[in-house]
Amino acid sequence: EAANWVYPSPQQFYNALLRKNKDPEADTMDDVVHTHNVTNERTWQRVLEWERLHERTCATPKLIRFVGRCGDLSFGAHCSRALSYRGVPFDRHDWFVDRCGQKVVRYV
């Protein structure tokens, strides 16, 4: 079990975008990957904030899966598309957290 999540390299990220039929610009991948990684780190901190509500039953939640679902819109993304100027998110990830073997929780 790895202690830390390992993010993809700019080349791996570029290749993943190609597989998803996106049109990436190779010369922007360093910046794109940096932004993506910062966003994911901030999101993980938010997940941990929610998990602290369950600290008495599980003091050390662990990320067990992290699934990119760029083609699937969450309820919030559908609302954003319909009701705001922001449009839809570029990407979506589902985070699966193990609460000390008691329960697996999904965050979208």
- Residues 47-70: pLDDT tens digits? 999 999 999 999 999 999 887 766
Residue 2: inside a domain: no
Residue 1: inside a domain: no
How many structural domains comprise the chain? 1
Residue 4: inside a domain: no
Query: What are the start-end ranges of the E strands in 3-103?
Result: 62-68, 93-98
Residues 10-37, mean pLDDT to the nearest whole number: 91
Residue 37: inside a domain: yes
Residue 54: inside a domain: yes
User: In the chain, what percentage of residues exceed pLDDT 90?
Assistant: 53
Q: Which domain, by its residues, includes 61?
A: 10-107
pTM: 0.74
- 91 vs 42, more confident: 42
Beta carbons within 10 angstroms of residue 14's beta carbon: 19
Side-chain half-sphere of 82: how many Cα atoms within 13 Å? 7
- 61 vs 22, more confident: 61
Mutual angle of helices 29-51 and 10-19, in 10-degree steps: 90
